[in-house]
A and B are shown apart, each in its own frame.
Chain A
Amino acid sequence: MSTNGKDASLVVVQLAGGNDYLNTIVPYENGHYYDNRKNVNIDQSDVLKLNDEVGLHPTMTAIKSLWDQGKVAIINGIGYPNPNRSHFRSMDIWHTAEPDKIGTEGWLGRVLRQMDPQKENVLTGVNFGRGLPRALGCKDVSVASVGDLASYGLFPDLEDEALRKYALDAFSKMYGGAEGRDAVSSMLGETGASVLKGADLLRSSVGKYSSDIEYASSSIAQSLKSAAQVMSADLGTRIYYTQQGSYDTHAGQLDVHANLWSDLSAAVGDFMDDVDSQGYADDTVMFLFTEFGRRIKDNGSGTDHGSGGAAFIIGNKVKGGMYGEYPSLKEEDQLEGDLFFNNDFRGTYSTLLEQWLGYEAAPIVNGNFEQFNFIKN
């Protein structure tokens, strides 16, 4: 099952809000596209052509360059049965791998529990952003959620460094040391101690890191830079998670969507270069997903919630190319004005789990799903 070592790590980027598939992987030779997208379209001459049928959004130059190097797998028509067009419910479904009932455990949380059943490393999973995405939430799993890496930890609002050190020393004494007087107190003590340990390690990674890559100032670039910093510190982290958005472009889509992809593509390019120069390129795979695509017909200046979409898998160990089928845009093939999905997202999850991370997929994604072969053996 596992063809890759225990060092294989997964970097997940959630495109929150529903990325418009049609303007990301543009079917520039398809008349139906321009018929439906009277206003919100990408001109044929602008797309970055991937083949005779589709091309990338013009801002995605860095990802195009990775594609040219054979490092980008595009999963076309990814989705799930009976699409739900609510952001929240749909994102829940992607997070818990449970389309039919309300799931309680995140799929990556389940992976983390298997990776570190004894909870020995508090940094096996790190989320860059505040609050924990449900994908990472799982009983007996704790994940560090890092807003700003340099100030991560306790008392970030205390500006006086000497005072902060005193406060941290006091915290360390109160939570560490003697066993608590009861189970609750002991549990709090252990958790407090692991907070301090994790925070120290994470902050120290900033100092250890050096790189020639100049990331942009966008938040996604900074998040991925933080991921590269943590990676370079060899802390045993295997799941990195962050998000960018909002792709919920009901209005004014052309500008907003272009800005988002311009930021994301550049950040992905810089991150992959950075990872390469740090020597982790063979251990790193990126996975970009969104909760749904958008409606085929535009609404004048934007697009409404749809179904079916695209996901990206990027890395040295990825067999670049097109996977899944580009859904038909013909009216008779549409699903209530949306694209029909043709492959279940849990097939892509299963591929990542079994072929990349080396874990049996079925118990994590709640069933057996057809896998792709986008990971090199």
Chain B
Amino acid sequence: MGSQNVELMAHMMRRVGFGAHQDEIDAMLPKGYEAAVDELVSGPDVVEYLPDDVVMRFHVDMNELRFTTSSAGYWLYRMITTNYPMQEKIALFWHGIFATAYSKLNQARSLLNQIDMFRNFGMGNLRDLLLELSKDPAMILWLDNNANHKGAINENYGRELLELFTMGVGNYTEEDVKECSRAFTGWTLGNAEYMATRAAKDSLWPYGRIAWHFEYRGYDHDDGEKTFLGETGKFNGEDIIDIICKQPATAKFISRHLYDFFVADEPPVPQWPYTPPRDPEAIEVLSKAYFDSGYNIGAMLRTLFNSDFFKNESARFARIKSPIEMVVGAHRFSGNITQPTFDIGDAAEQCLFMNQGPMQPPSVEGWHEGMEWIDSGTLVERVNFASKELSDIHHPGARSIIERLATINGGILSPSSLVNNCLELLGTVNATDDTKATLTTFAEQFGDVDLRNHKPGDDSEKTVGNIMRLIASTKEYQLC
């Protein structure tokens, strides 16, 4: 088992999920890379998480799950504790593209239902996913499809379905937007009028306290002939989705999003029509997988993780961690969150301070990612959060690192050995020589660390904590 294999496995586990402990990587290595990909994408036989009825006993907020902090916390809790990270990762992927925000809905429960839909359909057939999305109550309200009526269309959903969700600008006409919107007339919510009245009048819960549901109203559906992307017929929403799915533009658009999220940062989406992809061949490979598999996202992911453009060294640490990846990764590593206590709300707040509040994207365009995650305000939050979280030597993750360090060289480590081993155990193997040198100079103030008879919280352990703190503050730790 060479270190090459370890690094590749670690790379894949950062992208399939939120990073992995050395123990988890070690357990995967004997299976071989392809089998590991298959296992992590397919997921465990039983997806383990605390059932909602138990979660709801923790505190009032968890029972409500209507507020942003508690519901964002609930999702983070799932991400932090799940044994199927890929499922949460794909939900986060679609949440970034089909970006729906609490600000307009005032009902986080409906957003959690949408996230759950991403879990269930996010790695299946794109057609099924788009169909679910078009019927998703949070989406219907978010993009005003409840105001899209026969004879009086509202183009909001019809436009974004084409522009932001599937094909991107330049691949359809304004006429296509109108025809697409006509096809989705009558796709609304049960109680739409009642909720509209409520929203106009009041107040704390303008759309009510009960979960919403989809309703198709034939009488409000425009059943006339439509011409959409060159095809003509009495199209309903399903037909529109069929036509969208067979477009090469859709294949390319989804492929580029997958590349951006799982391989390497692309420029912001609004620049896509003008800036070619970082790796056009990779987009071709993924597009081919899209058509070969009959629009299957899971098949595209398997192709992606097994391709050279992913396995290549140039794809490693080629993404800036999103705030959610940063927070979930650090908590999964430290292992301090096992139950949906109030700590979960703090984790949600941390994401918000770093400008990525779950279920609070700034607009339907989603977050601007990559380099735009970093500014002088967010960098302070990122560094302070990660350095505090990882330096706490009482957390299970740090304890397992200390136990491993204590077995190296009889438990006595020189400053440079301590730094190098901590970098490796934290997976920050991308540290430059300059960074290593600075960390080592920092470590030298503590001299050799002697972990032979270490006790929780003693000086030798504190030294390890201090090194971890500094590693969490490096430039390299910002990447994944």
* Interfacial residues, chain A to chain B (CB-CB below 8 A): 85-86, 88-89, 92, 102-104, 122, 130-132, 134, 137, 139, 141-145, 153-158, 163, 166-167, 169-171, 173-175, 177-178, 180-181, 183-185, 187-189, 191-192, 194-195, 198-199, 250, 295, 304-305, 336-337
B380 at the interface (CB under 8 A from A): yes
8 interchain pairs, CB-CB under 8 A: A132-B355, A154-B380, A158-B469, A169-B442, A170-B442, A183-B371, A184-B479, A195-B376
Chain A residues near B320 (CB, 8 Å)? 184
Q: B469, A305: Cβ atoms under 8 Å? A: no
Q: A134-B362, A173-B438, A174-B435 are in contact. List 12 more A-B contacts (CB 8 A).
A: A86-B206, A102-B103, A102-B363, A122-B376, A130-B349, A132-B377, A137-B362, A145-B353, A167-B442, A167-B469, A195-B376, A305-B204
- Please give the number of chain B residues whose Cβ is less than 8 angstroms from any Cβ of chain A in the complex: 52
Q: Which of A139, A144, A304 contacts B203 (CB 8 A)?
A: A304
- Contacts of A132 on B, CB cut-off 8 Å? 355, 377
A192 touches B377 (CB 8 A): no
Choice from A166, A173, A188 contacting B445 with Cβ under 8 Å: A166
Which B residues are in CB contact (< 8 Å) with A137?
355, 362
A144 contacts B377, C-beta separation under 8 Å: yes
Chain A-chain B contacts (Cβ-Cβ < 8 Å), number: 133
| 0/1 string, B457-480, CB within 8 A of A gives 1 | 000000000100110011100110
| In the complex, per-residue mask of B82-109: 1 if CB is within 8 Å of any chain A CB, else 0 | 0000000000000000000111101000
Interface residues of B in 421-480 (CB under 8 A from A): 432, 434-435, 438-439, 441-442, 445, 466, 469-470, 473-475, 478-479
For the complex, what is the distance from the CA of A157 to the CA of B391, rounded to whole Å? 11
**Are A167 and B475 interface neighbours, CB within 8 A?**
no
Indicate if the CB atoms of B473 and A171 lie closer than 8 Å: yes
CB contacts under 8 Å to A, within B255-298, are 265
- Find the residue from B103, B320, B376, B469 having the highest chain A CB count within 10 A: B376
Q: Report the bound CA distance from A184 to B476 in whole Å.
A: 10
Q: Is B47 an interface residue (CB 8 A)?
A: no
> Which one, B121-129, B334-342, B382-390, B395-403, is touching chain A?
B382-390
* Complexed CA–CA distance, A336 and B265 (Å): 49
A193 to chain B, nearest CB (A): 9
Alpha-carbon gap, A27 to B439, bound state (A): 66
Contact B362 A139 (CB under 8 A): no
Interface majority SS (helix, strand, loop, mixed), chain B: helix
Min C-beta distance of A239 to chain B, whole Å: 14
Q: Give the residue name and chain of the B residue nearest to A103 (CB).
A: B363
Say yes or no for B117: interface residue by CB 8 A criterion: no
> Closest 3 interchain pairs by CB?
A142-B375, A88-B103, A304-B203
Please tell me if the beta carbons of B439 and A170 are within 8 angstroms of each other in the complex: yes
CA distance A156 to B387 in the complex (A): 10
A174 touches B475 (CB 8 A): yes
Q: Quick one: given A167-B470, A305-B202, are A92 and B388 in contact (CB under 8 Å)?
A: no
Q: Are A178 and B371 in contact (CB under 8 A)?
A: no
Output the least CB separation between A237 and chain B (Å). 14
In the complex, the chain A residue whose C-beta lies closest to that of B103 is A88
CB neighbours of B352 from chain A (8 A):
131
Verify A88–B106 contact, CB threshold 8 A: yes
B379 CB within 8 Å of chain A: yes
B24 in the interface (beta carbon within 8 A): no
- CB-CB under 8 A from B315, the residues of chain A are none
Does B376 lie within 8 Å of A157, measured CB to CB?
no
C-alpha gap A156/B441 in the complex (Å): 22
**B374 interface residue per 8 A CB criterion:** yes
Contacting pair A199 B380 (CB below 8 A):
yes
Q: Is B365's CB within 8 Å of the partner chain A?
A: yes
- Give bound CA distance, A103 to B441, whole Å: 47
> Measured between alpha carbons, how far is A295 from B202 in the docked complex, in Å?
9
Answer whether residue B412 sits at the interface, using C-beta atoms and an 8 A cutoff: no
Q: Is the CB of A154 within 8 A of B434?
A: no
Task: Please state if B364 and A102 are interface contacts (CB–CB under 8 Å).
Answer: yes
B242 within 8 A of A: no
Q: How far is the CA of A337 from the CA of B200 in the complex (A)?
A: 11
* B353, A191: Cβ atoms closer than 8 Å: no
A157 to B101, CA, bound (A): 33
For B103, B353, B441, the residue with the greatest tally of chain A CB atoms inside 10 Å of its CB is B103
Q: How far is the CB of A169 from chain B (nearest CB, A)?
A: 8
Contact A155 B441 (CB under 8 A): no
B376: nearest residue on chain A (CB-CB)? A142
